[in-house]
Amino acid sequence: MTAPSRPAPPAGRSALRLTVVPTPQPPLDPRPALRLVQPGRPVPRPVPHPGPRPRTWTGRPADEFGPVPTGRSELPSAGETGRRLLTTALEALAGRRPLAQVRPLTSAGVYAALSAGRRPVWCAAGHAPVLLGRVRVCEPVDGVAEISAVAYRDGRAHAVAARLEGLDGRWRCTALQIG
């Protein structure tokens, strides 16, 4: 038997040829397991890289501007500060004290939101005093405290919560929610 003949290429074109091009990479090792694991030698392990470590603040660095976070050990009681903040804010919203008294306890954003003029109806209406129940404190991270309480006025209960962050050696309210 003879091999089938190939048809001739069309006029004006040359026949296709297969050319092997060497790859620029070294050939694959067919024995990777033998190369990595040898009898009597331990299996190499990747070096662990620990994540970022929490910072401990001992004071203001000389080259840093703005508020400096403060650790819990250098701050006063979060419960007492939280009670004072919530009482002051609720009394200011009820019109019993000037709103400017809240400014040193809050961040600029919280103070701007309080001074925008929108007050909860239950704070603005009525003449009964605002009473604050037990203040609960949760500290999820060093230098951060989340506080919550129930405010009572005219026989009704309302939820109040705030986030305090330790900045420059004192607690400052960075979020306030009045329900």
All structural domains of the chain: 72-178 (3.10.450)
Residue 88 pLDDT greater than 90, yes or no: yes
The pLDDT assigned to 63 comes to 57
Contacts 24+ apart (CB under 8 A), 108-112: 109/174, 110/173, 110/174, 110/175, 110/176
Residue 91 pLDDT greater than 60, yes or no: yes
The larger pLDDT score, comparing residue 150 to residue 67, is at 150
Q: Which of 82, 177, 91, 179 is nearest to 134 (CA)?
A: 82
The pLDDT assigned to 159 comes to 93
**Residue 138: Cβ-neighbour burial (10 angstroms; 0-12, 13-18, 19+):** exposed
Residue 66 pLDDT greater than 70, yes or no: yes
Asked if 163 and 175 count as a contact pair (C-beta separation under 8 A), the reply is yes
Q: Record the tokens describing residue 74, joined without a space.
A: 């250098």
The pLDDT assigned to 30 comes to 59
- pTM for the model: 0.62
